A and B are shown apart, each in its own frame.
Chain A
Amino acid sequence: MRRRKHMLEELDQDIRDHIERESQDNIERGMSPEEARYAAMRKFGNVTRVKEETREVWSLIWLEQLLEDISFGLRILHKNFGFTAVAVLTLALGIGANTAIFNVVHATLLQPLPTRQANRLVVIWVNNLVQSWSRIGPTGQDYLDWKEQSKSFDDLFLFEHGTGTVTGLGEPEQVAGLRVTTNFGEFFGIKPVLGRTFRLDEAGSRHNFAILGYGYWHRRFASDPSVAGRGMTLNGEEYTIIGVLPADFAALFPADVVVPFDTDWVKRVGTDLGVFGRLKPGVTLRQASGEMNVIAGRIATARPSRKGFGAVLVPLEAVRVEYLRPALLVLLVAVGFVLLISCANVANLMLARSVVRQREMAIRMALGAGRLRLIRQFLAEGTMLALLGGTAGALLAVWSTDLLNIFVPSRIPVPNAADAVTLPGIHMSGTAVAFTIVISLLTGIVFGVIPALQSLRCNVNESLKEGGRGFSIGPSGHRTRSTLVIVESALAFVLVIGAGLMIKSFWHLLEANPGFHPDHLLTLRIKLPTDAKSSEYREPRQQAATFQRFLASVEAVPGIQSAAFAEIVPLSQDDMDMGYFVVQEDPALPPGEHLAADYRDITPNYFATMGIPLIAGRSFSEQDNLDRPRVVVIDEMLARRFFPKQDPIGKHLQIPDATRPSREIVGVVGGVRDTGFDQQPRPTIYFPSLQSPDQTMSLVLRTTLPPSAVLPAIKNAIWSVDKNQPVFAVRSMDEIISGIVSAQRLAFLLLGVFAFLALALAAIGIYGVTSYLVSERTHEIGVRIALGAQRSDVSHLVLGHGARLAGIGVIGGVVAAFALTRLLSSLLFGVSATDPLTFVVVAILLTLIALAACYIPARRAMRVDPVVALRCE
Chain B
Amino acid sequence: MSTKEDRERIELLQGTLDLLILRTLLLGPAHGHAIAKAIEFNSEDVLQVEQGSLYPALHRLIKRRWISVEEGTSENNRRAKFYRLTPKGRRQLAVETRKWGKLAGAIARILRPTEQESES
Contacts from A to B (Cβ < 8 Å): 7, 10-11, 14-15, 17-18, 21-22, 25, 43-47, 49-50, 53-54, 56-58
Contacts and interface: CB of A to CB of B under 8 A. Distances in A.
A10 B32 CA distance: 13
Given A18-B51, A25-B37, A43-B51, 11 more contacts: A14-B32, A17-B31, A17-B33, A18-B36, A47-B52, A50-B52, A53-B55, A54-B55, A54-B59, A56-B56, A57-B60
Contacts of B80: 17
Given A10-B81, A17-B80, A50 B63 contact: no
A44 to B, nearest CB: 5
B52 A58 contact: no
A15 B55 contact: yes
Interface in B63-88: 63, 69, 78, 80-81
A14 B55 contact: yes
Contacts of A18: 32-33, 36, 51
26 contacts: A7-B59, A14-B32, A14-B55, A14-B81, A15-B52, A15-B55, A17-B31, A17-B32, A17-B33, A17-B78, A17-B80, A18-B33, A18-B36, A22-B33, A43-B50, A43-B51, A45-B50, A45-B52, A49-B52, A50-B55, A53-B53, A53-B55, A54-B55, A57-B56, A57-B63, A58-B59
A17 B71 CA distance: 13
A3 to B, nearest CB: 9
B47 interface: no
Nearest to B37: A25
Contacts of A44: 50-52
Given A14-B32, A14-B81, A17-B33, A22 B51 contact: yes
Contacts of B36: 18
Contacts of B69: 7
B86 to A, nearest CB: 15
Contacts of A22: 33, 51
B83 to A, nearest CB: 11
B62 A7 contact: yes
Nearest to B71: A10
A58 B32 contact: no
A21 B50 CA distance: 15
B63 to A, nearest CB: 6
Contacts of B37: 25
A10 B37 CA distance: 21
Interface residues of B, number: 19
Which of B31, B33, B37, B62 has the most A CB atoms < 10 Å from its CB? B33
A50 B53 contact: yes
B30 to A, nearest CB: 12
- Which 9 residue pairs spanning A and B have beta carbons closest together? A45-B52, A50-B52, A53-B56, A21-B33, A45-B50, A57-B59, A54-B56, A44-B52, A44-B51
A805 B7 CA distance: 52
A50 B62 CA distance: 16
A17 B33 CA distance: 8
A47 B53 CA distance: 9
B11 to A, nearest CB: 12
A144 B36 CA distance: 93
Nearest to A56: B56
A25 B74 CA distance: 14
A470 to B, nearest CB: 31
A50 B36 CA distance: 15
A46 B33 contact: no
A547 B37 CA distance: 113
Given A21-B33, A22-B33, A58 B51 contact: no
B51 A45 contact: yes
Contacts of B59: 7, 11, 54, 57-58
A25 B37 CA distance: 10
Which of A10, A21, A56 has the most B CB atoms < 10 Å from its CB? A21
A394 B69 CA distance: 53
Contacts of B33: 17-18, 21-22
Interface in B16-66: 31-33, 36-37, 50-53, 55-56, 59-60, 62-63
A35 B1 CA distance: 14
A46 B56 contact: no
A11 B53 CA distance: 13
A49 B33 CA distance: 18
A43 B53 CA distance: 10
Contacts of B81: 10, 14
A17 B78 CA distance: 10
A58 B63 contact: yes
Contacts of B52: 15, 44-47, 49-50
Nearest to A25: B37
Contacts of B31: 17
Nearest to B50: A45
A46 B51 CA distance: 10
Contacts of A56: 56
Contacts of B50: 43-45
A22 B32 CA distance: 11
